[in-house]
A and B are shown apart, each in its own frame.
Chain A
Amino acid sequence: MKLSEIIEILKAQVICDSDLSLDYEIKTACGSDMMSDALAFVKDQGMLLTGLLNPQSVRTAEMLDMKCIAFVRGKIPGDEIIKLAKDRGIALLSTKYRMFTACGRLYSKGLGGGCDEE
């Protein structure tokens, strides 16, 4: 799924694009407020949906080679998080949807979790 489609489906505000193309293809996603749960997920070209608003959400995405984070429940990250994300080339979005709804909207449009069980 293209980043542009994700932005549209989540009705998201782009906090910073970090030079990531709107055509960037995101293949899988993971939704979690617990970073170790996200770190148990190791798929290429994924995105993270989280309500966790601290630098560790960016660092977790960095370790996982994720290029996009969507903050749910309308959360807006502070300058420190935005700077870290820009340095790491990670786009930040903010959506007003809650975690369950945000994940459900993306899943129903075809973005999977990349898990064997699906």
Chain B
Amino acid sequence: MQPIIKTYVIPGDDFTHAGEASGKVKAMLKQLGYDSDAVRRIAIAMYEAEINMVIHADGGKATVEIHPDRVELTLQDSGPGIEDVELAMQEGYSTAPDEVRALGFGAGMGLPNIKKYTDDMKIESIVGTGTKIYMLVKAGKTS
């Protein structure tokens, strides 16, 4: 069975609309009848990645592949890249500026939350070139 593939452009420097793509994906998966717990995990993981993209990388592109048994998400940006991915994965580590904290993010929980809610996650990042995050969540339909 062919997967449903959707692509979203995430605008950079637009904190007000950050999260719109994740909201659309969530609504679509719900409508397709995927299990609500899996849908919530997918939405949270994508939302965190989307916020990261807006905060750190001036936006980027998100691709969502919907399979009968899983959802795969790839978020790619052309931002500054992550110098030390292992360090960035630690809870509480953040390079976000204070103004981002004032907006409710930058607590150093984004990447750890993504890891927590996905069944597989890979980060490829090259400093000065950009970052690609791949996420997989096992998900089936309830009906």
Q: Which residues of A contact B (CB under 8 A)?
A: 33-37, 39-40, 42, 50, 52, 54-57, 59-60, 62-65, 80, 88
Interchain CB contact (< 8 A) of A36 among B17, B26, B110: B110
Query: At the interface, is chain A mostly helix, strand, loop or mixed?
Result: helix
Please, how many angstroms separate the alpha-carbon atoms of A68 and B8 in the complex?
28
B109 & A56 in contact (Cβ 8 Å cutoff): no
The answer to whether the Cβ of B3 comes within 8 Å of any Cβ in the partner chain is: no
**Given A36-B109, A40-B109, A40-B116: A56 and B40 within 8 A (CB)?**
no
Instruction: Work out how many contacts link A and B, with CB atoms closer than 8 A.
Output: 73
B19 & A40 in contact (Cβ 8 Å cutoff): no
Contacts of B110 in A (CB 8 A): 36
Please, how many angstroms separate the alpha-carbon atoms of A88 and B22 in the complex?
13
**Given A59-B23, A62-B23: A33 and B116 within 8 A (CB)?**
no
Interchain CB contact (< 8 A) of B16 among A33, A52, A55: A55
**Residue-wise interface mask of B (12-36) relative to A, using a CB-CB cutoff of 8 A (1 in contact, 0 not):** 0001111100110010000000001
Contacts of B109 in A (CB 8 A): 34, 36-37, 39-40
A63 & B22 in contact (Cβ 8 Å cutoff): yes
Which residue of chain A is the closest to B26 with respect to CB atoms? A63
